[in-house]
């Protein structure tokens, strides 16, 4: 068996990482503009906010070059393109007056995609929170769920005559944990555990309100989901004991861990916070934050769950029958970002998630940063990325064969881009970008992916 004929083959990006034009045509600043323009040396962390003091002012200049980028997508044979809307580009203050120039840009992009036969898939929030809203407390402000719903209504009313696929939030775990608890990304806060739960609760309420708005105001039948990055685990062997242990590890919270997937997904799909999370955090879990009706709001039915997967942890069944992390693999295969290559997560994590939540799955991000460049022959040869994608897709096919409803796969990323606090030092793209000239070059992996799409996945079985 191979991938279904209607499988959604795509690639993904995020607004702040590629658009540039950060102060053009009425766009308001986001927390990432604030964060990456603070170039002071942080003596506590012993570094500047962004490596090499880089920023997203120009990035890939997609704002001006979207037609060229869509033409390259068409050349690659993409069936779908997942992109995010810059909240402050269409609402410079995060609420209130609409910026028609920002609306016009996304209208042009959507129309260009449709003319190329590519399905536009919109992510409504991918970390670039409006600075004006951060100035009034950010996600800690109890009004934020309603403010987010207002923004979502603007987007849906303006774009849903042509857009069917909507994702409310991208990787909320990263946004809250790295940006608000660890202080390693925008908005660079270090909140207490109790405060963190209030942020999470408000963010999940915003998600629930967004789902309701999409369903109420969409002009075309909407397909609604979100795109978290569940912590990934896979079994050391295919025996049932190890598989069961890995599945248990995927959702358990035995220690104070804000990355616990069940913390983020149980409220959405089960309408409750996991008991082990509540018990582990004790008094730092503020039960009083949950008002009547909150959990019903958060658990609005979804059409799919997007999952961003890159690397994972190998699990075996311990002698006590409990999950146990296997020892570190000496000389493990690593990407340029030093993430371990663990393709088996795409075989098992979709199964673990589906068994727990019974919702169809889209792999909304998967890819690798590699050390590649334009060779003397003018091409970009990236065999390791091809090998990475091939290994992961072979495992994803096994999950489909096992009966897991997987609707699509989006490679991360379409373009080399601004990799947040790492600036422009990591290249995840299928398309190489020369940031000085903005010249685009299709990498060998882009051409390989084209063959995969054209064959509806059969090409992943060809090893060269």
- What phi and psi values does residue 165 have, to the nearest 5 degrees? -100, 125
Cis peptide before 65 (omega within 30 of 0): no
Sheet holding 361-366, edge to edge: 223-227, 165-170, 119-125, 80-84, 8-12, 406-412, 361-366, 305-308
User: Is 365 known to be catalytic?
Assistant: yes
Taking the C-alpha atoms of residue 126 and residue 82, their distance in angstroms, rounded to an integer, is 11
Q: Is residue 84 within a helix (H) or strand (E), and if so which, with residue range?
A: strand 80-84
Best CA proximity match to 447, nearest among 117, 72, 78, 76: 76
**Rounded CA Rg of the chain:** 21
**What single DSSP character describes residue 178?**
I
CB 340 within 8 A of CB 334: yes
CA distance readout (Å), 176 to 94, 204, 245: 19, 11, 28
Contacts of 361 (CB under 8 A, 6+ apart): 304, 305, 306, 307, 350, 353, 354, 404, 405, 406, 407
Taking the C-alpha atoms of residue 198 and residue 141, their distance in angstroms, rounded to an integer, is 9
Selecting among 19, 112, 171, 365, the annotated active-site residue is: 365
CB 83 within 8 A of CB 69: no
Pairing of strands 431-433, 440-442: antiparallel
Active site residues: 365
């Amino acid at each position: 068996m191979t991938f279904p004929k209607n499988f959604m083959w795509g690639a993904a990006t995020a607004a702040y990482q590629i658009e540039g034009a950060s102060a053009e045509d009425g766009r308001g600043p986001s927390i990432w503009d604030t964060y990456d323009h603070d170039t002071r040396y942080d003596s506590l962390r012993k570094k500047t906010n962004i490596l090499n003091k880089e920023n997203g002012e120009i990035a890939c200049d997609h704002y001006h070059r979207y037609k060229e980028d869509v033409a390259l997508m068409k050349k690659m044979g993409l069936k779908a393109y997942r992109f995010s809307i810059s909240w402050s580009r269409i609402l410079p203050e995060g609420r209130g007056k609409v910026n028609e120039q920002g609306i016009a840009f996304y209208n042009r992009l959507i129309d260009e995609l449709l003319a190329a036969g590519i399905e536009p898939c919109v992510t409504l929030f991918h970390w670039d929170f409006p600075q004006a809203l951060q100035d009034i407390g950010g996600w800690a402000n109890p009004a934020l769920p309603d403010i987010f719903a207002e923004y979502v209504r603007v987007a849906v009313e303006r774009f849903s005559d042509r857009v069917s696929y909507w994702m409310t939030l991208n990787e909320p775990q990263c946004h809250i944990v790295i940006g608000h608890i660890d202080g390693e990304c925008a908005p660079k806060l270090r909140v207490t555990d109790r405060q963190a739960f209030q942020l999470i609760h408000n963010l999940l309420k915003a998600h629930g309100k967004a789902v309701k708005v999409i369903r109420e105001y969409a002009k075309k039948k909407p397909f609604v989901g979100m795109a978290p990055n569940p912590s990934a685990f896979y079994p050391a062997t295919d025996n049932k004991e190890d598989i069961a242990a890995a599945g248990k590890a995927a959702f358990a919270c035995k220690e104070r861990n804000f990355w616990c997937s069940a913390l983020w997904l149980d409220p959405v799909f089960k309408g409750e916070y996991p008991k082990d999370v509540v018990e582990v955090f004790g008094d730092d879990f503020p039960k009083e934050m949950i008002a009547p009706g909150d959990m019903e709001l958060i658990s609005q039915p979804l059409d799919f769950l997007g999952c961003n997967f890159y690397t994972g942890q190998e699990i075996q069944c311990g002698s006590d029958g409990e999950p146990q992390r296997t020892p570190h693999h000496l000389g493990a295969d690593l990407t340029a970002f030093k993430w371990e290559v663990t393709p088996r997560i795409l075989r098992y994590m979709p199964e673990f998630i589906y068994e727990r939540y019974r919702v169809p799955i889209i792999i909304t991000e998967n890819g690798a940063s590699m050390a590649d460049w334009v060779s003397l022959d003018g091409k970009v040869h990236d065999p390791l990325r091809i090998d990475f994608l091939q290994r992961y897709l072979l495992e994803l096919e096994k999950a489909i064969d096992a009966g897991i409803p997987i609707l699509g796969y989006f490679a991360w990323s379409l373009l080399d881009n601004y990799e947040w606090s790492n600036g422009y030092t990591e290249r995840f793209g299928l398309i190489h970008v020369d940031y000085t000239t903005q010249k685009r070059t299709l990498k060998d992996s882009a051409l390989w992916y084209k063959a995969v799409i054209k064959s509806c996945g059969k090409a992943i079985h060809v090893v060269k």
